Amino acid sequence: MTTLLVLELTGATVAGGHSKGYPLAWLRYNGEERMAQGEWASDGQASWADDQRVMTFPKLDTVSPPVEFILSTIEPHRATYIGSQTIQLQEGEHHLDLPNGTLHVKMRVEAKKEIDEGGFSIKWTASDALKLEQARKAEQNKLMQAELSAMICEAKDRQAKRALYLKEKEDRRKFVAAVIRLQAHWRGIRVRTTLPLIRQQVERERRKLLAKRNVRERARRRRETEIQFLQTATHKSLPKQNHTAKVPMSSKTEIKPVETPEKLIDDELIHAIRLVHGSKWANSKQMQST
């Protein structure tokens, strides 16, 4: 036979008459805890299902520790504290006035062979806590070992890819170096074979340019000489005009022919004309012969 402490949740209210989320009752007795989740009615009263409304605890015969009640409201990613209160073990109905609401509980003691805890239990004994911590550490170690193995595999893959990349890079470098050496070899052959021809062609072009320059210089000098002879001869052959005496002309003035002197053209002018015409005739003959 086992003596049990039976706690039954009969109702709860919250200040303001209405609350979002779900009511959550948390009961603690002798190091053990029970929790029950219910629903808020339209009138602001909390109700619990039959499998969570009644919760049992093993009762101690020697001592009577107090019972602690905590009421809160839970929402997605949020929890609102309504209040908590601790009372001594005493059978009957209790109305607990919390800071933000009220909680109604019935308490009785029963004798049963089997323990029906109800709700969902969370035991906080030393052995259970140690087992839970060991299981959590073992699971954490397994996860860490799996992560470490994955990291080692990734590092090996990176090293293999790096080695392959370096090998391909070295192969490309060797290939490019071989191509450059081959190009330099053939370029040297072409330079050695074509350089004399290029020099000969450059020399020919230089000589042609020099010959053209000499021809142009001789022609320029010849033209300057001819112009100088013509200017000198023309200046000497022109008669001197006297502009001091000006005779006014009228309509009755008779126009008389100018008397032509026996020697109107000077000998030096004739010599210059012959020299110019002779040089032109000689140049035309030379061009025809070439």
Q: Does 131 fall in a domain?
A: no
Can you tell me the distance from the alpha carbon of 23 to that of 18, in angstroms, rounded to the nearest whole number? 11
Q: Does 158 fall in a domain?
A: no
Q: Say which residues have a Cβ less than 8 Å from residue 44's Cβ, sequence separation at least 6.
A: 13, 14, 16, 17, 18, 19
Q: Does 172 fall in a domain?
A: no
Q: Does 13 fall in a domain?
A: yes
Q: Which residues pair with 9 in a beta bridge?
A: 105
Give residue 55's domain range.
Answer: 2-123
Q: What tokens appear for 57 in the block?
A: 């605890």
Q: Does 268 fall in a domain?
A: no
Q: Which helix (H) or strand (E) holds 152?
A: helix 126-237
* Domain CATH code at residue 53: 2.60.40.150
Are 21 and 11 in contact, with CB atoms under 8 Å apart?
A: no
Q: Does 238 fall in a domain?
A: no
Q: What tokens appear for 116 in the block?
A: 């029906």
Each of the 290 residues of the chain gets a pLDDT tens digit; together they read 577 888 888 888 887 766 678 888 888 888 888 888 888 887 778 888 877 888 888 887 777 788 888 888 888 778 888 888 888 888 888 888 888 888 888 888 877 655 444 544 444 455 666 777 788 888 888 889 988 988 999 999 999 999 999 999 999 999 988 888 888 888 777 777 877 888 888 888 889 999 988 988 988 898 888 888 888 876 655 555 554 545 555 555 555 554 544 455 566 666 666 666 665 544 555 555 54
Number of domains the chain contains: 1
Q: Does 14 fall in a domain?
A: yes
Closest listed residue to residue 59, CA positions, set 27, 88, 89: 89
Are 86 and 29 in contact, with CB atoms under 8 Å apart?
A: no
Predicted TM-score (pTM) of this structure: 0.38
Q: What is the dihedral of CA 252, 257, 261, 266, to 10 degrees?
A: 100
Q: Does 185 fall in a domain?
A: no
